[in-house]
Amino acid sequence: MLLEEKIQQFPASPGVYLMRDAAGEIIYIGKARSLRQRVGSYFKSSGDSRYHIKFLMAKVADIEVVLTDTEKEALLLENTLIKQHHPRYNLDLKDDKTYFSLRIDPHEEFARFTVVRKRPEDGARYFGPYSSGSAAREVLRQMVRMFPLRHYPLATCMSRKRPCLYHQIGQCSAPCQGMITREAYAALVTAAMLFLEGKGRQLVAEFKRRMSDASERMLYEEAARWRNLLRSIEVTVEKQKVVLRGGDSDVAGFYRDGSRVEMALMFIRSGILTGSRLFSFSWELDDAAAVTAFLQQYYTDAVFIPKEILLPFDIDDRGALARLFGELKGGRVSLLLPQRGTKRELVDLAGRNAMAACRERDEMEATAAAVLADLSGRLHLGRIPNRIECYDISTIQGRFSVGSCVVFTQGKADRRNYRHYRIRTVDGQDDFAMLREVFLRRFRADNIEKNALPDLVVVDGGIGQLNAVQEIVAELGLKGSFDLVSLAKSRVLHDAAAGEVRKSDERVFLPGRKNPVVLRQSSAPLLLLAAIRDEAHRFAIGYHRKLRGKEGIASVIETLPGIGPKRRIALLKHFGSLQRLKDAAVEEIQAVPGMNRTTAEAVYRGLRND
């Protein structure tokens, strides 16, 4: 049966349609108010003449549909299926896990902020997201200067005999030592959350009221504390500028360059611009579909949903998305298309941010491409090293030996493809044998199918390491499949007569060449190679320390009464480090599967040598 005939039998009801190519792979998933009308529009010569639609339809061999009762259910099902199948022509926001948030549970005793990646439905409050862990920690540092909440796990705080250093510098109110009441501490938590919500002016009024109330009751120390908080808040609030009257809004900016799309979201809380976030992805279909898909995936992924979302242009599913977001939020949500005034200016500003981000990305990619081409020319490589892999070994006298592989794609760290290797077949200190094991495991036939071969392999070391790797590569039958180099670190030159400390140059060794290539020490190609080498070293050492830590906690746990293999493994999985186990309260230890109150108390006392 022809597709056109099959489509005529589709019902005129809401649902989801799945387009497949000749191999049966799902290449696009969409939703519709009327399946027959929406899917049929793709095949009408007068209906949709957009280039992107023609490009998609040239690959469609079959279409199947899934019926739903309402358009909102179709939206939810479409979102679920996209995340399950990852179709080529659908938007897939894969980078959310790289963002960080601040978490606080107001119901926790003497609550504190922590930096987290995931945002589960656990009843806690989450603020962000922030573009990096360092950005989130910087916000946290600013917060504790204004709101002196505790820094450490509660068990650690309660085990102290005197206040910590943070209390002495005014960044902790020392609830563990009874220096602040539970009610006053809860007020600090509430104030901190209000501040992160952008409600600084509301805080100023509240702190003034509390300061006056404490003064009238002649509680001068408490009044002074509210006065100090008030001053720090006012300094911050004065720097903020109201950009929009009213409540909370998100402003969406859009920019397109061919199939590349850049989205910018600006976050306005209580009328104040509090931050922004950028998204870059490839999209073959039309602009309205891109914005719809982006909004649908972003706001259904456990993020804060504001009362208003300002759009750069109209989209087909605006009403259905507003109803869906309203249900997720638990209140009314409006998707607006401002035409004039401040809101339109904000949308235009978000669009300019998206355009600037796209151009900056282009410039960075062009710079990276130039550096890679320069590196290829200077080292006489057989190809442009778009994918570079670097290997390193970390061991202490043959114990806890590990290997690391880091990957740089187009000159940037590709952390999704980093790999650790626990050395299994080598006893003692034999770096060459360890490197051989790592290469044998990395370049197995089944592994090569999953992970493409690199263009360049970098080994930490000198000519000896390079020759060893050459032999391993030849043994694997991969000679000539990629380029090989080794990078020898600079070393201090010992010269007692010299007036200052001198270092040798970083040296690059090439196969078949005895003397190293010495690149200009500040040149971009050498700096790139050094950064890759240092990253491999950092990654290997991190895993090495982790294994040593687990071995340490395992050996300590095994000496505790009542702890057998099963309980030891359960404690290792739950706490991860000896310090975290030492910091845990009896109740936390008891909560581990397989533990009871008696054993938990024995572990608690054993770790404290009681």
- Model pLDDT for residues 557-576, shown as the tens digit of each residue: 666 777 777 787 788 777 76
Alpha helices by DSSP H, 20-151: 35-41, 51-57, 71-85, 133-146
What is the reported pLDDT for 334?
A: 92
Q: Are residues 466 and 569 in the same domain?
A: no
Residue 144 lies in a domain: no
Residue 140 lies in a domain: no
- Residues of the chain short of pLDDT 50, as ranges, are 47, 49, 95-98, 238-239, 610
pTM (2 d.p.): 0.61
Contacts of 45 (CB under 8 A, 6+ apart): none
What whole-number distance in Å separates Cα of residue 282 and Cα of residue 461? 39
> Quick one: which of 274, 279, 276, 277 has its CA closest to 294?
279
Residue 480 lies in a domain: yes
DSSP string, 398-419: TEEEEEEEEEEETTEE-GGG-E
Q: Are residues 324 and 448 in the same domain?
A: no
Q: Are residues 280 and 319 in the same domain?
A: yes
Q: Which tokens hold the place of 237?
A: 């609030």
Q: Are residues 413 and 350 in the same domain?
A: no
Residue 142 lies in a domain: no
Domain limits for position 354: 249-359
What is the reported pLDDT for 456?
A: 93
Q: Are residues 295 and 397 in the same domain?
A: no
Check which CATH number belongs to the domain holding 17 and give it. 3.40.1440.10
Residue 113 lies in a domain: no
Chain centroid to Cα 504, Å, comes to 38
- H or E element at residue 154: helix 154-158
Q: Are residues 407 and 292 in the same domain?
A: no
What is the reported pLDDT for 337?
A: 93
What is the reported pLDDT for 234?
A: 58
Q: Are residues 486 and 419 in the same domain?
A: yes
What is the reported pLDDT for 97?
A: 43
What is the reported pLDDT for 403?
A: 83
What is the reported pLDDT for 610?
A: 47
**How many structural domains comprise the chain?**
4
Kindly report the three-state secondary structure assignment for every residue of 182-241.
HHHHHHHHHHHHHHHCCCHHHHHHHHHHHHHHHHHCCCHHHHHHHHHHHHHHHHHHHHCC
Check which CATH number belongs to the domain holding 413 and give it. 3.30.420.340
Distance (Å) of CA 314 to CA 116, 253, 284, 352: 35, 13, 19, 18
Residue 110 lies in a domain: no
Q: Are residues 500 and 598 in the same domain?
A: no
Q: Which tokens hold the place of 51?
A: 């280039």
What whole-number distance in Å separates Cα of residue 43 and Cα of residue 54? 9
Domain boundary among 530, 550, 580: 530
Check which CATH number belongs to the domain holding 567 and give it. 1.10.150.20
In tens, the pLDDT along 469-517 reads 888 888 888 888 899 999 887 665 555 555 565 566 788 899 988 888 8
Sheet holding 308-310, edge to edge: 272-282, 260-269, 249-257, 308-310, 334-336
Q: Are residues 507 and 392 in the same domain?
A: yes
Residue 302 lies in a domain: yes
Residue 597 lies in a domain: yes
What is the reported pLDDT for 96?
A: 40
What is the reported pLDDT for 85?
A: 84
Q: Are residues 329 and 284 in the same domain?
A: yes
Q: Are residues 498 and 447 in the same domain?
A: yes
Q: Are residues 508 and 453 in the same domain?
A: yes
Domain boundary among 65, 85, 105: 85
- What are residue 111's phi and psi, to 5 degrees? -60, 155
Domain boundary among 45, 63, 85: 85
How far the first Cα of the chain sits from its last, in Å, is 80
